[in-house]
Structure 1
Amino acid sequence: MERDEAQSATFYDLDGQVLQLSFAGDSAALWPSGRSGVDELKTALAQVSGGEGDPDPRVVANQVLDNHWLNRWPRRPGWLRRLVLGSKPPTV
C-alpha cells in the first residue's frame, strides 16, 4: 500500500476501534483514535465476506489470506513454490 492510499484508508482493531495513522520518515504507526467504528467495520467485513451473518474479523482475515494463498505465484514447479512461499497459508 502506498503512502497516499494509506492516508485515505480507515484502519480498525479487532474490537472495532478506529486507528489513526501517522508517519515518521519511512515508518508508519497506528494509534487508537478513541472513536468506535464497530458498525462501519461490520459493514466492511460483510462486504468482503459476502454478507453472511455477523462476520468475525479473524474469520474474514483468514478467508482473505486463504484467497491470496490459492492465487499465489509461482505455482509450478512445486519445489520452487514451497521454497519461496512456504507449505501452508498464513493465518491471523
Structure 2
Amino acid sequence: MSDLAREVLDVVLDAIDIPYAATAGDDETRQKILDQRLMQLVVSLRTLRDDPGRDAAWTLAYLREKLTEHPAAGYRTWDEACALSREGAR
C-alpha cells in the first residue's frame, strides 16, 4: 500500500471513528459532530477524486485541520459510562 493510500485511510478513520455515545441524549450530540465531520470528509474525498492535479498532502492536512473544529467531545461516551459504572460498583 502506498504512503498516500495509507494516509487517506488514516484520515478517513480519524473522521468517522469517534466514540459511541452513552445515552440517546449523548447520541444526538455525537451525531451532530459526526455529520459535520462526514461533510468535511466527503468534500475532501471529492476534491482528491475530481482534481488529480491538486496537492493531496495539502488536501489531507486541510481536512485534518477542519476535523479539529469538530472534536469528538461534549458528550458522554459509552466507555466513560462503563468506567463510572465499574467505579460505582466498588
The structure where strand makes up a greater share of residues is 1
- What is the TM-score of this pair, normalised by structure 1? 0.29
Which of structures 1 and 2 has the larger relative contact order (alpha carbons within 8 angstroms, sep 6+)?
Answer: 2
